[in-house]
A = this chain, B = another copy of it.
Amino acid sequence: MKKSLIALAVLAASGAAMAQSSVTLYGVLDTGLTYSKGEESVYGMTHVGGNVNSRLGFRGVEDLGNGLKATFNLESGLSADNGGNYMNESGLTFNRTSTIGLAGGFGEVRLGRMLTSSYLAVSRYDAFGDTGIGASRAWSNWVSETEPFAALGAYPTRASNAISYTSPNFSGFKFGGEYAFGEQQKASDSRYIGVSATYDNGPLSLGLGFDRIDGNTNNGTDFTIDQTSWQLGGGYNFGVARLLGFYKESKFKDDGVGAAGDSAKFKTFGLGVTAPVGAAGEVRASYNHYRDSDAGETLKANQLSLGYVHNLSKRTALYGTYAYLKNKNKDGDNLGLELNGAMPGAGLSDSGAQHGLQVGIRHAF
C-alpha cells in the first residue's frame, strides 16, 4: 500500500520564525461484504479490513541536525463498518502505534507502543499480510480449550511500555528488538522481550524472530504462564510469481507457581504465492497447517485461501478473497479454529469446517 503523505507547510509558533517540518495525516478505510458459513450462514460488513486493516494516523519527522532525527507516530485502528475502534469499541485510541523516536546512523530507538519486530519480520510472508479472511491464524495464538491455556489471550503482535531498537540496513541485513516493561512489583512479571533479523536483497527475503512474555505471578490466579515463540520465513520473487513460506511455534508453559508445570505448543506452517495479473491485478494463494499440542493431545487444522486484488490506483483497490478452514475432528474434539474476521455466529460445521468470502474496497489516504 502506498500511503499518501500530506505535506503541510509548518510555521513555528514563535510568530516570525519559520521552521521546516512535516506532519503526515494518513489512514486506510477498508470494508465490504463478509460471508461466513459454518454451522450457520451469516452475512455482514467487514469489520476491520479485508485487504489492509483500517486505521487513522499522524506521524512526523524533525531534523535535529548532525544526522539525528526525532520521529513520532500515532495510529489508531478503525472499524470501517461502524466508525469505531476495532480493538476498543468505545472510541479512537492510538493502540496500533504510539511512538516517539530518535533516528540516526545508529538506527532508530523508539519508545511507547509498536508492532514487535519478531512479528514484522515473519508475518510479511503470509500471502494475505495477516489481514482479512485469508490471513493465517499463526499470530492469533490459538490454543485449544483446555485450561489454563485457553485464557492466555493473543500472541503479542504489539507491545506497550516498550523500548525498541531497529538497526540500520547493512547490505540488506537488519536486526531489531524490543523490551517492554511489565510494570509489576516483580520486574520480570508480564515483561516482553523480542528480537528479529531480516535480510532483503533483490528477489530474496528472509526473516527470523523470537519473542517471549513472562507470566504474571501477581495475576490473582494460582498459575502463571510464560509464552515463548520463534518464527522464521522467506520469500523469493521469480518475477512471474513470488513464493512465500514461514514456520511459527509458540509454547505456553505454566511455570508451576500453583498447579503442576503443564505446557502447550501451537505450530503453524504456511506456504503462499502472489503473482501479478496484468498491470493492475494480483492473485494470492496460501496454505496453512496448524497443529496444537496440549495435555498430550495433538489437534490439527488446515486452511486454504485464494484472493485477487485489483488496483484502481496506488491508493484504492477492489478485492475478493475466498478461504476454507477445516479442523480435523479427533475423538469428538477439534481445534475450534475459525477464519480471521469470520462473522460472529457462523461457527463451524459438524465436520469442523468453515468457508469464508470477502469482497470489498480499500482506500488509503
Contacts and interface: CB of A to CB of B under 8 A. Distances in A.
Interface of A: 2-14, 17, 19, 21, 23, 25, 27, 29-32, 40-45, 56, 58, 60, 62, 64-65, 68, 70, 72, 74-76, 78-85, 88, 90-100, 102, 111-113, 160-163, 181-185, 187, 312-316, 343-346, 360-363, 365
A149 B91 CA distance: 29
B112 A98 contact: no
Contacts of A21: 4, 315, 365
A293 B38 CA distance: 43
Contact of A90 (B7, B65, B93, B181): B93
A11 B7 contact: yes
22 contacts: A3-B13, A4-B11, A4-B21, A5-B12, A7-B11, A8-B8, A17-B314, A25-B25, A43-B181, A45-B111, A45-B112, A56-B74, A72-B365, A81-B98, A81-B113, A81-B161, A82-B95, A82-B98, A83-B112, A83-B160, A111-B360, A183-B345
Given A84-B94, A91-B93, 8 more contacts: A4-B12, A6-B23, A21-B365, A44-B161, A45-B161, A45-B162, A85-B91, A100-B362
4 residue pairs, one from A and one from B, having the closest CB atoms: A91-B91, A83-B98, A83-B94, A44-B183
A81 to B, nearest CB: 5
A19 B82 contact: no
A9 to B, nearest CB: 5
A74 B78 contact: yes
A108 to B, nearest CB: 13
Contacts of A25: 8, 23, 25, 58
Contact of A70 (B8, B62, B315): B315
Contact of A19 (B42, B183, B314): B314
Nearest to A162: B45
A183 B95 contact: no
A283 to B, nearest CB: 22
A88 B79 CA distance: 15
B78 A83 contact: no
Contact of A365 (B40, B62, B98, B360): B62
Which of A161, A181, A344 has most chain B Cβ within 10 Å? A161
Contacts of A17: 314
B92 A92 contact: yes
A275 to B, nearest CB: 21
Given A60-B365, A82-B160, A70 B316 contact: yes
A258 to B, nearest CB: 21
A301 to B, nearest CB: 23
Q: Which of A30, A100, A312 has the most CB of B within 10 A?
A: A100
Contact of A160 (B62, B81, B90, B95): B81
Q: Chain B CB within 10 Å — which of A32, A111, A162, A344 has the most? A: A111
B7 A344 contact: no
A106 B165 CA distance: 50
Nearest to A159: B82
A64 B310 CA distance: 13
Given A25-B58, A31-B100, A42-B185, A95 B83 contact: yes
A83 B72 contact: no
B10 A7 contact: yes
Given A64-B313, A72-B365, A92-B93, A111 B7 contact: no
A213 B241 CA distance: 47
